[in-house]
Amino acid sequence: MDKTLTIVTPIYYVNSVPHIGTALTTIVSDVCARYGKVRGQKTWFVTGTDENGLKVHEAAVKAGRDPHEFVAEIAEEFKRIWREMDIEFDDFIRTNEPRHHKAVQAAYEKLRAAGYIYADKYEGWYDLSTETFFKETELVDGQSPDGNPVTWVSEENDFFKLSAFQDKILAHIEANPTFILPETRKNEVVAFIKQGLRDVCVTRTNPGWGIPVPGNESKVVYVWFDALLNYIAACGWPDEGWEGKWPADLQMMGKDILTRFHATLWPAMLMGLDLPLPKTLFGHGWILMGKDKISKSLGNVVAPIDLAKELAERGGCTLPVAKDAVRYYSIATLPVESDSTFSVEEFDRKYNADLANDLGNALNRSLSMAHQFLGGVIPDCDPESEVAQKITEAKQGFEKAMETWRCDEAANAAMDLIRFLNKYINDRAPWNLSKNQDPALQPVMYGMLLGIRSAVCLLSPVVPNTATEIARQLNVPVAVSWEEIGSKASLLAGTQLGSPSPIFPRLQPPKPAPKQQPAAEKQPAPKKEEKPVEPISIDDFAKVQLRVGRILEAEPLEGSDKLLKLQVVIDKEKRQIVAGIRAGYQPVDLIGRQVVVVANLKPATLRGVESQGMLLAAVDADGKAILLQPDREAPEGATVR
């Protein structure tokens, strides 16, 4: 039987709902799983909820709720939020499910029978918020090393012989270079193990919540011991059939739960159960808010879906694209070795720089020019060799990065291709090739379109909704086999391209607050004297020739903070137009856009530059231009009446 590619997230505590920190682990895992799927592998991606901790029970009791109902509701909320963020999980495991209870009790009995669990007295400190035991010597100023309060525990308990596995775990890490990633985390883990692993207390007095110890109802299984077993429980262990899914190929998590739990206790438990170890444990860094952790008590929680909704409202992109932007940001700024700091400003900057400027610009320019110069039909030719080579490099770079689950480097390899394409368009200037009827026009245009198609296919696990929208605009199928990416089969000659329509409108910086004038000084605005408008005849109006044009290039006019210099094509004819629209538009947002041009205006010289026409625009209350644009794609050069 073919082994499935199994990818799992940690299971989340149900005393909070997802925020951009917990979402990070889930989004990265989802991207890895989607990558497996696009590579054609049978993939199984699991997430779930960790429900047996004492804190959860306390929260339910405090809220006057039945704990089972309480956790079931929160687990549903997790599922809903993950689905809303386009997380494509194949299974969702809850530690209150019978399949999990069964696996925990079976594992407990097996380890006890093998002599790895023994009874003893436990005395030590317990941190309830992270469910961790600490020695006296590990406390810092009477608190846990993370600064959490601890309580003294003195109980008869069962212990797991973690110390017996110390050398075996070290040997496994040594023999399997990708068992713990990234490298720096591996070094931390090895240093921790070399300090000496001590046996772990694996039971607590039964508070009426948790999984009872087999044969001793007065005790429940320690919540970490219970929670870690979710991974094999979800695979169906101890019943037959688990071998098709276990071992996991990737266990993704934050660094906080790697060293003490996943890289020591978990492998030891698996070794004691005679089960194979996961192939890779990946411990990423944290997202911080300034210097602080994200936490409800600090009031700094940002929900991923709220971030997406706000972006859609502020930026005007659709919600599916805004969700992709959150996913893209999480991946592109993934904290791997160290931590990262979240701010809305940085989120906006990344959106504008990578998605609006780089990706959006490359797509709009390529599609618009293909309509302009090739009648919107994909030409039948090969791309120029430098483009073909860059596509191969991007694909290989993506694959190499994903061998060690570096989604951030993989995304960057695809974005490198996009950045290359924008430069290539500038260098090869298809508008000149067209004007000069240069035969290079077709290969250049094909390379631009194939480059975009390839980069977007590579990025599809990160930005699935954007990939769908771009495929729609290119009028090609969304799905393409991995082998086909970069080949001509992925972009068939003769295809009639769809209409370009900006996917990532650029975010404008927030308006500065208007200066407040003291009330007494406020003068009523002088009324504009309205001149009576003389009616004109239809013949007068007919003298004005209005045509639909398309902006191909846009740049600020040197020496002016109001004017932009535009290259606009009206059907086959190219015009240079100087327009006073700089206050309302960024040049990159204009490229590819259709506009209405007064085509028979006498040329004028503005700041030493000739302007061969005028764009029609409305004016807002601040005097800023609002360009008129056909309601849907109009034929090139269409007459406006």
Do residues 636 and 368 touch, judged by C-beta distance below 8 A?
no
Burial 556-590 (b: 16+ CB within 10 A, else e): ebeeeeebbbbbbbbeeebbebbbbbbebbbbbbb
Strand ranges inside 383-509, DSSP E: none
Q: Which is nearer to ligand MSP, 248 or 467 (CB)?
A: 248
Q: How far is the CB of 528 from ligand MSP (least distance, A)?
A: 55
Q: Tell me the C-alpha distance between 421 and 429, whole Å.
A: 12
Judged by the rule CB under 6 A, the positions of this chain that interact with ligand MSP are 10-13, 21-22, 24-25, 50, 227-228, 230, 253-254, 256-257, 286-287, 294
- Cα pseudo-dihedral 574, 579, 582, 586, rounded to 10: -20
Q: How far is the CB of 408 from ligand MSP (least distance, A)?
A: 14
Q: Which is nearer to ligand MSP, 296 or 472 (CB)?
A: 296
Q: How far is the CB of 287 from ligand MSP (least distance, A)?
A: 4
Do residues 172 and 277 touch, judged by C-beta distance below 8 A?
yes
Q: Which is nearer to ligand MSP, 228 or 566 (CB)?
A: 228
| 43-50 and 91-94 beta bridge pairing | parallel
Amino acid at 137: T
**Tokens standing for residue 231:** 């991974």
Q: How far is the CB of 31 from ligand MSP (least distance, A)?
A: 15
Q: How far is the CB of 291 from ligand MSP (least distance, A)?
A: 12
Q: Which is nearer to ligand MSP, 129 or 567 (CB)?
A: 129
Q: How far is the CB of 343 from ligand MSP (least distance, A)?
A: 14
Q: Which is nearer to ligand MSP, 143 or 333 (CB)?
A: 333
What's the alpha-carbon Rg for the chain, to the nearest Å? 31
**Tokens standing for residue 490:** 């992925």
Q: How far is the CB of 228 from ligand MSP (least distance, A)?
A: 5
Q: Tell me the C-alpha distance between 460 and 466, whole Å.
A: 8
SS3 90: coil
Do residues 421 and 414 touch, judged by C-beta distance below 8 A?
no
Burial label, 635 (beta-carbon count in 10 A; 0-12, 13-18, 19+): exposed
- CA 263, 268, 269, 271 torsion: positive or negative? positive
Q: Which is nearer to ligand MSP, 50 or 86 (CB)?
A: 50
Q: Tell me the C-alpha distance between 226 and 211, whole Å.
A: 8
Q: Which is nearer to ligand MSP, 32 or 566 (CB)?
A: 32
**Tokens standing for residue 207:** 């508070």
Q: Which is nearer to ligand MSP, 22 or 264 (CB)?
A: 22
Q: Which is nearer to ligand MSP, 19 or 371 (CB)?
A: 19
Neighbours of 602 (CB within 10 A): 6
Residue 510, preceding peptide bond in cis (omega within 30° of 0): no
Q: Which is nearer to ligand MSP, 146 or 540 (CB)?
A: 146
Q: Which is nearer to ligand MSP, 38 or 234 (CB)?
A: 234
Q: Which is nearer to ligand MSP, 12 or 209 (CB)?
A: 12
Q: Which is nearer to ligand MSP, 344 or 604 (CB)?
A: 344
Phi, psi values for residue 3, rounded to 5°: -75, 135
SS3 283: strand
Question: In the complex, which residue's CB is closest to ligand MSP?
Answer: 254
Q: How far is the CB of 283 from ligand MSP (least distance, A)?
A: 8
Q: How far is the CB of 222 from ligand MSP (least distance, A)?
A: 12
Instruction: Return the closest-CA partner of residue 387 out of 432, 453, 448.
Output: 448
What is the distance between the terminal CA atoms of the chain, rounded to a whole angstrom?
68
Residues 6+ apart with CB under 8 A from 557: 563, 564, 565, 578, 582, 606, 607, 609
Q: How far is the CB of 495 from ligand MSP (least distance, A)?
A: 42
Q: Which long-range contacts (CB under 8 A, 24 or more apart) does 305-310 make?
A: 305/81, 305/84, 305/85, 307/20, 307/344, 307/347, 308/85
Q: Tell me the C-alpha distance between 33 and 26, whole Å.
A: 10
Q: Tell me the C-alpha distance between 551 and 507, whole Å.
A: 20
Residues 6+ apart with CB under 8 A from 526: none
Q: Which is nearer to ligand MSP, 13 or 351 (CB)?
A: 13
Q: Which long-range contacts (CB under 8 A, 24 or more apart) does 535-544 make?
A: 543/600, 544/598, 544/600
Q: How far is the CB of 277 from ligand MSP (least distance, A)?
A: 15
Q: How far is the CB of 289 from ligand MSP (least distance, A)?
A: 8
Q: How far is the CB of 478 from ligand MSP (least distance, A)?
A: 30
Residue-wise DSSP of 458-480: HHTTT-HHHHHHHHHHHTS-S--
Q: Which is nearer to ligand MSP, 289 or 569 (CB)?
A: 289
